[in-house]
Structure 1
Amino acid sequence: MTASDLTPTGRSIVLEAAGVRAELGTVAAVLRGLTVDGVEVTESIPAGSAPPMAAGIVLAPWPNRVRDAVWTLDGERQQLDITEVSRANAIHGLLRNTDYEVREQAPGAVTLGALIPPQHGWPFLLDTWVRYELSPDGLAVTHGVVNRSARTAPYATGAHPYFRIGANPVDELELMVAASVYYEVDTRMNPVAAHSVEGTPYDLRTGAPLAELTLDTPFGGVAPGVAARLTAPDGATVELLHDAAWRYLQVFTARDFPRAAGRGLAVALEPMTAAPDALNSGDGLRWLAPGERWEGHWGIRYTAGRSGAGSR
């Protein structure tokens, strides 16, 4: 890599085939943008900018937050670095500022890998990777890990994409979330209870206008398949797809997301394999024996609307 290649998101990688284009960066294995037939389906991050509001980054070895940046392992207190200073939590894992290595690359796919070494509050060595692969109507994403420690290690992962449907204003979209549980959170955004969505404003299984929603909310009980869907006025959709490992989802409606045209509403749909504060609750947390390997998958699918824009 030369000096001219250096950017806040690391080395730029472009995957392009059959009308689908993904722009990536090696820092935090960030998804900088995804278009299908010229239609933007994620918020784009300029190569010269750091990801705003964690846009597009990979979250490992935990997504979301660890309360007080503290958890307990075999009766011993583990003190992580506080990375969400305003709320005194550890947020979004240990790789958000790590430059991944390119382990494998083809015209329509790339695998980026990074080690998570032992550090404050984390006495483990994990080898992690994420593979981005173009699909006919979007993107397939595979997260993987091998425990290289001599002891069993906890693990969870997630991602932080913000979605849109082309030039449609985000506040004109409808959001569906296929979740049966939502998590009540405190003022520091840590979970205090899990509730059924039935009969609550958090029941988004039949959809609701984004303009009416203010969310920074974790959801659970997400079945494999379509975890969430955005729908434009002309019927175009962008769907977040989960496999069986991804039973959790964070929905964040950011009212001041920065764009070239000015700040405005954006929506993050964050696939997660575990609930917030899983290092303390164990909710969705996976424990990997020494040498054990795991992979899980999520994806993005775009379908054109009645206008036919982006139709194949």
Structure 2
Amino acid sequence: MGSDAIELAAGQYRAIIGREGATLQRLTWCGGDLIWGGDSDSTGEGAEGAGAFQGRLMAPWPNRVDKGRYTFEGTEYQLEITDPERGTAIHGLVHSRLWTPHDITPTHVRLTYDLDGEPGYPFPLELAVDYRIHPASGLSVLATARNVGSTSAPYGFGAHPYLTVGVPLDEATLHLPARLRLPVDERLLPTGPPQNVAGTEYDFRAPRRIGETVFDTAFTGLRPGIEGRSWTVLAGPDHGVGLWADSSCGWLQVYSADGLPGPAHRSALAVEPMTCPPNALATGRGLRVLGPGERSEARFGIRMMAPTLG
């Protein structure tokens, strides 16, 4: 935990937020971990990095952009290739930037970052995220972006928490309320429209054990429940961890940590709420276009759940 980390607590919940990347470093209930977190210097991806983007925020795009190239309103842009192995620009621009905390209370913090525009993405945005802890409902997160430029801006958001229940994923039970999955190639880029999960190994609409299923998969067609939230629940023998996302996040990237070395291998499940799918800057699918002064919001949360609630 970095020295500039911010601790929030309510009831049996405790969260630690780092300034770098506005990172959710830790979330516990009764002292037990609900997420696999990372210190603020744990930047990386898969086996190639020191970490796996644990708890980071992804903006102004989540996931990957093919060759870092996209065209917006008739102009072509080139992003830095940050995943050289696959030739993609990954997880946006702010996951390793220092955010500024405001309005700190025992149960809430707001962090902001001014993205002034840079090569490959010359669109100024005011970004903010509010982390809030409640003794009954756990952690809630509100991420916002406002276009402070004079032209329209393409925008997408995602977050990168890993859920853990203290047992290997093979032994855990998953409830994933997604009707569709996105097929991808060996570079993890979309190869066609979303496909129905019915009858495939990716159908977890009824809770069942993960077993040997490997995920590095974007899902959509999420089924909303109470208050319009879709709930993904990872459950072990003693407790479950639920992640909800509202309609602002129509996609979930699920990653079973198979590419991670050592004890991290298949020990936690990344469930990444996203406003758009992989390669959205290039394809336009699900991409938000913010006019001058316009604002975008995304909401999700994490809480402890009884294992029977999966």
Instruction: Give the TM-score of the pair, scaled to structure 2.
Output: 0.89
Deviation at 1:73, TM superposition (A): 1.5
For the Cα contact (< 8 Å) 2:37–2:161, is it kept in 1?
Answer: no
Q: Are the equivalent residues in 1 in contact too, given 2:17–2:26 (CA < 8 A)?
A: yes
| Equivalent pair of 2:257/2:264 in contact (CA under 8 Å) | no
> For residue 74 of structure 1, what is the aligned residue in structure 2?
73
Query: Secondary structure of 2:281's match?
Result: helix
| 1:226 aligns with one of 230, 235, 254 | 230
Closer, same or farther: CA 141–150 of 1 in aligned 2, 3 Å: same
Indicate if the aligned counterparts of 2:157 and 2:298 stay in contact, CA closer than 8 A.
no
3-state secondary structure, aligned to 1:63: coil
Structure 2 contact 60–93 (Cα < 8 Å) conserved = yes
User: Given that residues 140 and 297 in structure 1 are in contact (C-alpha distance below 8 angstroms), is that contact kept between their aligned partners in structure 2?
Assistant: yes
Q: Distance in 2 between matches of 1:277 and 1:50?
A: 21
Structure 1 residue 196 and structure 2 residue 170: aligned? no
Structure 1 residue 207 displacement after superposition: 2.7
Deviations 1:218-243 (A, max 9, x none): 11112342331111134x22111011
**1:258: Cα distance to partner?**
6.1
Taking the aligned partners of 2:116 and 2:243, their CA distance within structure 1 comes to 31
Q: CA RMSD in A?
A: 1.9
Shift of residue 256, structure 1, vs aligned partner: 5.8
2:119 alignment partner in structure 1: 120
8 Å contact 2:23–2:40 — kept in the other structure? no
- C-alpha separation in 2, matches of 1:69 and 1:76: 14
Once the two structures are TM-superposed, the CA of residue 152 in structure 1 deviates from its matched residue by 1.0
Contact 2:42–2:52, Cα closer than 8 Å, also in 1? no
CA displacement at 1:137 relative to structure 2: 3.8
Q: Which amino acid aligns with 1:204?
A: F
Which residue does 2:282 correspond to in 1?
280
Give the equivalent residue in structure 2 for 1:271: 273
Report whether the alignment pairs 1:207 with 2:207. Answer: yes
Moved more, 138-147 or 223-232: 223-232
SS at match of 2:206: coil
Q: How far, CA to CA, are the matches of 2:206 and 2:91 in structure 1?
A: 29
Aligned to 2:245: 242
Letter in 2 for 1:232: G
Match of 1:297 in 2: 299
Aligned to 2:130: 131
CA–CA distance in structure 2, aligned partners of residues 87 and 47 of structure 1: 25
Q: 1:280 to 1:222 in 2, by over 3 A?
A: same
Contact 2:159 2:273 in 1 (8 A): yes
Q: Distance in 1 between matches of 2:105 and 2:10?
A: 11
The letter for the 2-side match of 1:230 is L
Q: How much identity, in percent, do the aligned residues show?
A: 37
SS in 1 for 2:67: helix
What is the CA distance between 1:289 and its match in structure 2? 1.0
Equivalent in 20, 25, 31 of residue 32 of structure 1: 25
SS state of the match for residue 279, structure 1? helix
Q: 1:198 to 1:279 in 2, by over 3 A?
A: same
270 and 304 in structure 1: CA distance in 2 versus 1, 3 angstrom threshold = same
SS of 1:99's equivalent in the other structure is coil
Alignment of 1:56-67 (within 5 A): 56-67=55-66
Q: Which residue of 1 aligns with 2:47?
A: none
Residues 10, 27 of structure 1: 8 Å contact kept:
no
Contact 1:223/1:247 (CA < 8 Å) preserved in 2?
no
Aligned residues: 295
Give 5+ residue unaligned stretches, structure 2: 45-50
Q: Alpha-carbon deviation of 1:50?
A: 4.8
Partner of 1:252: 255
Deviation of 1:305 after TM superposition, in Å, equals 4.6
Q: 1:210 to 1:100 in 2, by over 3 A?
A: same
